[in-house]
């Protein structure tokens, strides 16, 4: 038997209802915030991720799916969404347009990780990228949008963990302090962190192995090394978040795992569940140098990504199935072949008018159809019989009140719409 690859999932049944629910809420919120949908390729030139995410990052060194295509080009399945959006922004010269570009995406990403709950090899993220503005109000908008989407999904008790890496000067000052601090403690960190010390010591703060060690807990804090301009900028972002009634906690250990971040970085967690705390629902940050580093103009960017797989796990924990259960509005019942032809026409007409409708597709008896309609929680039963049809009528039963009424076929759609 052929089975799905390790680290992937099938989305079926009740899970598919939750996925539809999440996607619909995301799309609605993005529209309200005036974010434009963008779709970029699932695979890109490997160089894109080496230059943006960082060739020394765990993602590039250990987790990317790299291959050589038939044209001997080096290709990588996208491990994250930002790099592709920025590449599109540059390649299509979208920066030439005067307005700030606000994009959202929703698609699959690929990382070769050890599969576990909340960490798949093929996973789905929705996210946003705002390009062209350095105003702290955009930082607050992006963070609040992420927060409000999760809130709209009925995930409660959310908290933003936020930090600032500052500008280039601040980051370099902090890097020097961190290196001096870590050097005598290298024997107390994991082998990966010993390697990170040589390439990008800030990544040690993001280590999943050493996150609870005293070495990490006592490390210098980024906020203590911000220059005046960076500190004022960060305080302005926090002021805007308070004004928007967003719960946050300044966490100096938030650095995120990608090389391109500067200034604001953040993650979002649900405080209701210990397991959820360990598995961040989403996060992001500002990347004011990435566009230029990818051969674009001097410009600014900020974004976030949320893992839909992780969100679905949380929705299961809070038993949201009952709230997103799909209900059938009409079930059309028939027995004879002549009635079946009428049913075919009625079902199509109702569906084309936006009414969720189902009918007998397995040649069930009338009793069996009643059972199926109840299983589907149909609100209205449209029961056909030859005698009524000859008079141009159908029998409509309200499956909630159990009341029945004869309705003219020509007026059936309007009748259903008026009573739903």
> Mind listing the pLDDT tens digit for each residue in 170-211?
888 888 888 888 777 777 778 777 777 777 777 777 766 766
pLDDT at 299: 94
Q: Is residue 165 part of a domain?
A: no
Same domain, 275 and 336: no
Instruction: Decide if pLDDT at 405 tops 70.
Output: yes
Q: CA–CA separation, 11 vs 361, rounded Å?
A: 24
Domain end marker among 292, 321, 350: 321
Taking the C-alpha atoms of residue 314 and residue 291, their distance in angstroms, rounded to an integer, is 34
Query: Confidence class of residue 59 from pLDDT cuts 50, 70 and 90?
Result: low
Three-state SS at 120:
coil
Please name the residues in contact with 328: beta carbons below 8 A apart, sequence gap of 6 or more. Answer: 356, 357, 358, 373, 376, 377, 378, 379
pLDDT beyond 50 at 237 = yes
Mean pLDDT of 363-372: 95
**Beta strand 301-307 with 330-333: parallel, antiparallel or unpaired?**
unpaired
**One domain, residues 314 and 347:** no
Does 344 lie in the same domain as 289? no
Average pLDDT over residues 243-248: 94
What pLDDT does 221 receive? Answer: 87
Cα 391 to Cα 359, 388, 403, 408: the distances in Å are 22, 5, 21, 9
* Residue 276 confidence class, pLDDT cut points 50, 70, 90: very low
Domain shared by 42 and 27, yes or no: yes
The reported pTM is 0.87
Write down the pLDDT at residue 277.
Answer: 46
Res 334: pLDDT: 97
Q: Looking at the domain assignment, is residue 175 inside a domain?
A: no
Most confident option among 184-193, 257-266, 346-355: 346-355
The verdict on 273 and 344 lying in the same domain is no
Question: Has residue 407 been placed in a domain?
Answer: yes
Q: Pick the more confident residue, 92 or 205.
A: 92
CA distance 357 to 346: 9
**DSSP annotation of 10:** -
Other CB atoms within a 10 A radius of the CB of residue 253 amount to 15
pLDDT at 215 over 90: no
Give the chain's end-to-end CA distance (angstroms, integer).
46
Tell me which of 177-186, 297-306, 308-317 is least confident.
Answer: 177-186
Total domains, the chain: 2
Q: Model confidence at 322, in pLDDT bands (50, 70, 90)?
A: low
312 and 331, same domain (yes or no): no
> Within this chain, do residues 302 and 386 fall inside the same structural domain, yes or no?
no
Of 170, 303, 152, the residue nearest 224 (C-alpha): 170
Residues 290 and 387 in one domain: no
Residue 115 scores a pLDDT above 80: yes
For 317-344, what is the mean pLDDT?
86
Do 317 and 346 fall within a single domain? no
Among 215, 170, 161, 171, which Cα is nearest to 190's? 215
pLDDT digits (tens, 9 = 90+) for 1-30: 999 999 999 999 888 989 999 999 999 999
Are the C-beta atoms of 123 and 129 separated by less than 8 Å? no
Q: Encode pLDDT of 125-151 as tens digits.
A: 999 999 999 999 999 999 999 999 999
94 vs 131: CA distance, rounded Å:
9
Enclosing domain of residue 377? 327-419
**Residue 144 sits in the same domain as residue 285:** yes
Kindly give the residue spans of alpha helices, DSSP state H, lying in 153-221. Answer: 168-182, 191-199, 214-217
Handedness of CA 367, 369, 372, 377 (dihedral sign): negative
pLDDT at residue 217 greater than cutoff 90: no
Domain end residue (candidates: 321, 340, 359)? 321
Domain CATH for 333: 3.40.50.800
Is residue 233 a part of any domain in this protein? no
Instruction: Report the mean per-residue pLDDT for the chain.
Output: 90
User: Is 35 in the same domain as 85?
Assistant: yes
Region 313-323: mean pLDDT is 77
Tokens of 233: 């900028």
Q: Average pLDDT of 208-219?
A: 74
141 CB-near residues (< 8 Å, 6+ apart): 33, 130
Q: Same domain, yes or no, for 298 and 356? A: no
Which CATH number fits the domain that encloses residue 273? 3.30.930.10
Mean pLDDT of 61-77: 91
Quickly state the pLDDT bin for 252 (edges 50, 70, 90).
confident
Residue 244 sits at the vertex; the CA angle it makes with 240 and 246, to the nearest 5 degrees, is: 100
Query: Is pLDDT above 90 for 222?
Result: no
What dihedral do alpha carbons 196, 200, 206, 211 form, nearest 10°?
40
Q: Is residue 51 part of a domain?
A: yes
- Number of other residues whose CB lies within 10 A of the CB of residue 280: 18
């Amino acid at each position: 038997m052929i089975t799905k690859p390790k680290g992937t999932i099938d989305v079926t049944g009740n899970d598919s209802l939750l996925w539809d629910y999440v996607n619909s809420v995301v799309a609605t919120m993005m529209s309200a915030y005036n974010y434009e949908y963008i779709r970029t390729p699932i695979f890109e030139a490997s160089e894109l991720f080496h230059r943006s995410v960082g060739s020394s990052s765990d993602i590039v060194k250990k987790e990317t799916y790299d291959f050589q295509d038939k044209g001997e080009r080096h290709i990588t399945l996208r491990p994250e969404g930002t790099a592709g959006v920025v590449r599109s922004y540059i390649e299509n010269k979208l920066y030439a347009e005067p307005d700030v570009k606000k994009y959202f995406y929703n698609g699959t990403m690929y990382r070769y990780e050890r599969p576990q709950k909340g960490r798949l090899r093929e996973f789905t993220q929705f996210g946003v990228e705002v390009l062209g503005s350095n105003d702290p109000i955009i930082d607050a908008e992006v963070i609040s949008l992420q927060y409000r989407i999760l809130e709209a999904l009925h995930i409660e008790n959310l908290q933003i963990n936020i930090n600032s890496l500052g500008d280039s000067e601040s980051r370099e000052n902090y890097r020097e302090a961190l290196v001096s601090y870590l050097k005598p403690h290298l024997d107390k960190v994991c082998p990966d962190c010993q390697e990170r010390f040589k390439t990008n010591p800030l990544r040690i703060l993001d280590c999943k192995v050493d996150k609870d060690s005293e070495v990490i807990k006592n490390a210098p804090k980024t906020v203590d090394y911000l220059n005046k301009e960076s500190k004022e900028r960060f305080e302005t972002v926090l002021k805007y978040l308070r004004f928007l009634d967003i719960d946050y906690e300044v966490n100096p250990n938030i650095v995120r795992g990608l090389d391109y971040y500067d200034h604001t970085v953040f993650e979002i967690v649900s405080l209701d569940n210990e397991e959820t705390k360990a598995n961040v629902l989403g996060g992001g940050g500002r990347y004011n140098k990435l566009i230029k580093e990818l051969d674009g103009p001097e410009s600014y960017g900020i974004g976030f990504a949320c893992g839909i797989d992780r969100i679905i796990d949380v929705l299961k924990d809070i038993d949201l199935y009952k709230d997103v259960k799909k209900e059938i509005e009409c079930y059309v019942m028939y027995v004879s072949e002549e009635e079946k032809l009428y049913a075919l026409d009625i079902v199509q007409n109702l569906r084309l008018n936006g009414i969720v409708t189902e009918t007998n597709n397995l040649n069930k008896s009338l009793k069996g159809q009643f059972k199926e309609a109840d299983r589907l929680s149909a609100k209205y039963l449209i029961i056909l019989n030859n005698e009524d049809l000859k008079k141009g009528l159908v029998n409509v039963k309200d499956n909630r009140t159990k009341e029945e009424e004869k309705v003219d076929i020509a007026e059936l759609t309007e009748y259903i719409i008026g009573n739903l």
